[in-house]
């Protein structure tokens, strides 16, 4: 196998990989579209099976901006969920009422003194 054959094989592999990457992105977007009916999704899948390149190009042209909006919305939802999880695990809250309530629980259980409670309360209200 000479260098030319190797380069053509590499180029063919690249295009096959690129095709599957776009195909999976389109199929993933198709199933994540909450506005599309089951019949619409089925018709798109049949179209993708029988005329794959044409169907990919038409889907990208017609639904491209919506794909981007859905991807951004999913990323924002995931980021918000991650931030909520981090806040819940860390136990930190920006709410001064929650901080004072937690400090009061510690005071009631005897874990902290009145002076420490007053300092935590002042810090939460600051």
pLDDT digits (tens, 9 = 90+) for 46-82: 999 999 999 999 999 999 889 999 999 999 999 999 9
Give yes or no: residues 40 and 53 share one domain: yes
Query: 93 with 87: CB under 8 angstroms?
Result: yes
Taking the C-alpha atoms of residue 21 and residue 17, their distance in angstroms, rounded to an integer, is 6
Q: At what angle do helices 38-50 and 3-32 cross, to 10 degrees?
A: 170
Look over the chain and give the mean of its residue pLDDT values, rounded to a whole number.
89
Q: What is the pLDDT of residue 60?
A: 92
pLDDT over 70 (residue 93) = no
SS3 115: helix
pLDDT band at 85 (very low <50, low <70, confident <90, very high): confident
Q: What is the pLDDT of residue 42?
A: 94
Give yes or no: residues 65 and 101 share one domain: no
Q: What is the pLDDT of residue 110?
A: 86
Give yes or no: residues 61 and 51 share one domain: yes
Give yes or no: residues 34 and 17 share one domain: yes
**Average pLDDT value for residue range 10-16:** 96
**Average pLDDT value for residue range 107-113:** 88
Q: Quick one: tokens of 64?
A: 């491209």
Q: How many domains does the chain have?
A: 2
Which domain covers residue 63, as residue numbers? 3-92
Give yes or no: residues 88 and 117 share one domain: no
SS3 60: helix
pLDDT over 70 (residue 34) = yes
Taking the C-alpha atoms of residue 9 and residue 117, their distance in angstroms, rounded to an integer, is 72
Q: What is the pLDDT of residue 125?
A: 83
Give yes or no: residues 18 and 50 share one domain: yes
């Amino acid at each position: 196998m000479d260098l030319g054959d190797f380069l053509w094989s590499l180029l063919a592999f690249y295009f096959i990989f690129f095709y599957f990457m776009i195909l999976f992105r389109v199929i993933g977007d198709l199933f994540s579209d909450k506005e599309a009916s089951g019949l619409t999704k089925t018709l798109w899948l049949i179209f993708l099976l029988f005329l794959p390149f044409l169907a990919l190009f038409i889907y990208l042209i017609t639904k491209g901006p919506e794909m981007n909006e859905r991807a951004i919305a999913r990323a924002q939802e995931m980021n918000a969920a991650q931030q909520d999880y981090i806040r819940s695990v860390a136990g930190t809250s920006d709410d001064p009422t929650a901080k004072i309530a937690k400090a009061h629980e510690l005071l009631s259980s005897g874990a902290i003194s009145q002076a420490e409670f007053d300092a935590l309360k002042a810090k939460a209200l600051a």
